Amino acid sequence: MTRIHKEHSAMKKSSIILVAFFATLAVLVGFELRASGQQHKEPIGYEDTPMLPGGKWHVHDGRRPHPPIVTPGTFSSQQAPGQPPSDAIILFDGKDLSKWQSAKGGPAEWNVQDGYFEVALGKGDIETKEKFGPIQLHLDWSEPNPPHGESQSRGNSGVYLQGQYEIQVLDSYNNITYADGQTGAVYGQHPPLANACRPPGEWQTYDIAFTPAIFQGGEVVMPAYVTVFQNGVLVQNHTEIWGSTGHRIFPHYKPDIGSTGPLVLQDHHNPVRYRNIWIREIKPAA
């Protein structure tokens, strides 16, 4: 082999090694990008589109931040409570009432057993130790079986949002009461859009979205709003709340409550059961 041939052969080998090296590198980089979810090398979105209201983002703006990733949970069944989403604040996981206290002060004295807790008659309302503003709330509840009492005396409890606004919990399965006091009502204000009650003894669910009122200088500048699904059925649809709820009263807001409050569960002297309670704090999108 001549010297020229030898050099040519050596260059050919070097070229093959270089091509192989860069090919391997490209595969590894591609794998790395896929693994980190950055497949898109080209800019996405637009900046030459109309500006959206608020003057911050264009339509399809590629610079707009993406929402956080949340791993969804599972739905409850009659046999077992569901799993909360990954970013939920767990208020009761079947074990203890460590996130709760008596609304009168001191420890929560309701009875915990077999993965649920039950209203302890006469021990008073319980409330979360933590206070919340805008929330998504989930809870499972179950009415006493066999049923006992009539109208407001059958399986009465309640979920007080921000400690002020009661979403009624009642056994409204074959039990007539005034419409704005049945299950799913904003008590004394808004009847539910449907009666979606399961029979007593079965587990039922509330999924609630709540936005507190906004006060300025002692005045209401935006009322509170609530959306409620009972057992997957819409019973309150972005309903305007007229003020703190109560029995036989015209509702008024209490501006001194501020922007947060505890979640309160009512002791109405009926042994209603609760399990699988969690909250997600609602934060505005970018």
Q: Residues interacting with Mg ion, by CB under 5 A?
A: 156, 158, 266
Q: Minimal distance in Å, beta carbon 187 to Mg ion?
A: 6
Decide whether 57 or 128 has the Cβ nearer to Mg ion: 128
Single out the residue of 143, 140, 141, 197 nearest to residue 173, CA to CA: 197
Single out the residue of 185, 194, 121 nearest to residue 159, CA to CA: 185
Token pair listed for 226:
């609530």
User: Which secondary-structure segment (H or E) carries 159?
Assistant: strand 157-161
Return the residue nearest Mg ion (CB atom). Answer: 158
Decide whether 134 or 184 has the Cβ nearer to Mg ion: 184
Residue 184 DSSP SS3 = coil
Token pair listed for 15:
């070229």
Q: Minimal distance in Å, beta carbon 35 to Mg ion?
A: 52
136 burial (CB, 10 Å; 0-12 / 13-18 / 19+) is: middle
Burial 24-33 (b: 16+ CB within 10 A, else e): eeeeeeeeee
Decide whether 88 or 119 has the Cβ nearer to Mg ion: 119
Decide whether 162 or 266 has the Cβ nearer to Mg ion: 266
Q: Minimal distance in Å, beta carbon 188 to Mg ion?
A: 10
Q: Minimal distance in Å, beta carbon 197 to Mg ion?
A: 14
Decide whether 175 or 266 has the Cβ nearer to Mg ion: 266
Single out the residue of 173, 194, 169, 193 nearest to residue 181, CA to CA: 169
Token pair listed for 63:
């610079």
